[in-house]
């Protein structure tokens, strides 16, 4: 349920309505726009029967929310959210680029990668310290040692750093180092991890699950925000279909769908979506054109030697070319 207040509703009238809601054991979430204030009601709305909120001073109208996700719903929060992360923001008017190796392999390669993506224009260094791999015999990451390298790279370049966490133990360690946590596709419905990410208050990049619907994805984000963390960015990284020409099928339609359903920013990961470096540039251009708030790209000093995802990683030169060729698309989309 959302309660839309009249444009001239006083602070006292708003406080009275929220008092009624909270007095019934429900949560009241305020979203203040330039002209109107919206009060979102979370909980069993049957408790409000007989309260006659619609008759309260300053109330314009009451709307029921049929979707199971409430706090990430655009009906609750009509204005698009701007998410502060480190020394930057993700959201309307910006186009954020996150780049770096799939896995942190050693100190020197990470620092070299950080310098290169910074020079090309990225604002985030991505790198995997904890790697969820299909095979238990594949490289699993350097864990905290890798996080220490990430922190050093941030100090050397000024880049914000983001790293995937795969367990509660990994999250408890990562929050001491990173500017943003990443929850990957395989953990999108790891509800205990989502709740712990919400309690951490550290900004979260939430990737879409391998076969998740948009509503399932938004419900996963609801777990995070319901624990008190509103700083969430969504990431479309391709979904599993019958097609085998690419690693996954990039669902670019998810970007405008998210824009219609939620106030949260959404970026695109063309690397994991395609699995082929030759497709990354056209998909990145398409992401900018369709209204994404940014991209996440895998970059490696020597992709043929990479311990993880070499075929979809760009060289430094290819990433620099991508960033140059993307500029007209970003400008046409009205972003900086």
What is the C-alpha separation between 273 and 303, in angstroms, rounded?
17
Which mean pLDDT values do the consecutive 10-residue runs of the chain (336 residues) have? 92 94 91 85 87 92 89 92 97 97 94 98 95 67 92 97 95 97 97 98 98 98 96 98 97 98 98 97 98 98 92 97 98 91
- CATH fold for domain 83-332: TIM Barrel (3.20.20)
Maximum Cα–Cα distance for the chain, whole Å? Answer: 68
List, for residues 33-55, the tens digit of each pLDDT value: 777 899 989 888 889 988 899 99
Paired tokens of 36: 């109107």
How much is the pLDDT for 66?
Answer: 85
Whole-angstrom CA distances from 306 to 128, 153, 182, 222, 276 are 12, 19, 21, 35, 14
Contacts of 46 (CB under 8 A, 6+ apart): none
Helix ranges, the chain (H):
11-23, 107-120, 144-157, 168-174, 191-200, 214-226, 254-261, 270-274, 280-290, 316-332
Taken in order 39, 40, 43, 47, the sign of the CA dihedral is: positive
Q: What is the mean pLDDT of the chain?
A: 94
Give the CATH architecture of domain 2-63.
2-Layer Sandwich (3.30)
Short-list 128, 137, 125, 134, CA closest to 105: 128
How much is the pLDDT for 139?
Answer: 65
* Residue linked to tokens 């500017």: 179
What is the C-alpha separation between 27 and 190, in angstroms, rounded?
25
Q: Are strands 37-42 and 27-32 parallel, antiparallel or unpaired?
A: antiparallel
Q: Where are the domains of the chain?
A: 2-63, 83-332
How much is the pLDDT for 141?
Answer: 76
Contacts of 177 (CB under 8 A, 6+ apart): 147, 148, 150, 151, 161, 163
């Amino acid at each position: 349920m959302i309660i839309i207040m009249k444009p001239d509703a006083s602070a006292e009238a708003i406080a009275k309505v929220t008092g009624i809601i909270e007095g019934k054991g429900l949560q009241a979430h305020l979203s203040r726009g330039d002209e109107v204030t919206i009060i979102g009601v979370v909980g069993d709305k049957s408790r409000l029967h007989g309260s006659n909120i619609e008759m309260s001073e300053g109330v314009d109208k009451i709307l029921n929310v049929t979707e199971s996700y409430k706090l990430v719903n655009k009906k609750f929060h009509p204005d698009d959210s701007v998410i502060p992360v480190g020394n930057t923001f993700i959201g309307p008017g910006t186009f954020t680029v996150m780049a770096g190796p799939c896995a942190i392999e050693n100190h020197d390669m990470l620092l070299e990668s950080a310098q290169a993506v910074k020079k090309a224009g990225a604002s985030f260094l991505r790198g995997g310290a904890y790697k969820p791999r299909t095979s238990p015999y594949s490289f699993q990451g350097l864990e905290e040692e890798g996080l220490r390298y990430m922190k050093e790279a941030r100090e050397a370049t000024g880049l914000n750093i983001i790293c995937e966490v795969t367990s509660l133990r990994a999250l408890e360690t990562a929050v001491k180092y990173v500017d943003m946590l990443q929850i990957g596709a395989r953990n999108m419905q790891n509800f205990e991890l989502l709740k712990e990410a919400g309690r951490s208050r550290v900004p979260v990049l939430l990737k879409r699950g391998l076969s998740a619907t948009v509503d399932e994805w938004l419900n996963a984000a609801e777990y995070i925000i319901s624990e008190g963390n509103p700083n969430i960015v969504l990431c479309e990284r391709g979904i599993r279909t019958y097609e085998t020409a690419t690693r996954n099928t990039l669902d670019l339609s998810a970007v405008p769908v998210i824009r219609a359903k939620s106030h949260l920013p959404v970026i695109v990961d063309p690397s994991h979506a395609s699995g082929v470096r030759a497709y990354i540039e056209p998909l990145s251009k398409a992401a900018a054109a369709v209204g994404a708030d940014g991209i996440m790209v895998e970059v490696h000093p020597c992709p043929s030697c990479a311990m993880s995802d070499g075929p979809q990683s760009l060289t430094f030169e290819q990433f620099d070319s991508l960033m140059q060729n993307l500029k007209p698309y970003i400008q046409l989309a009205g972003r900086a």
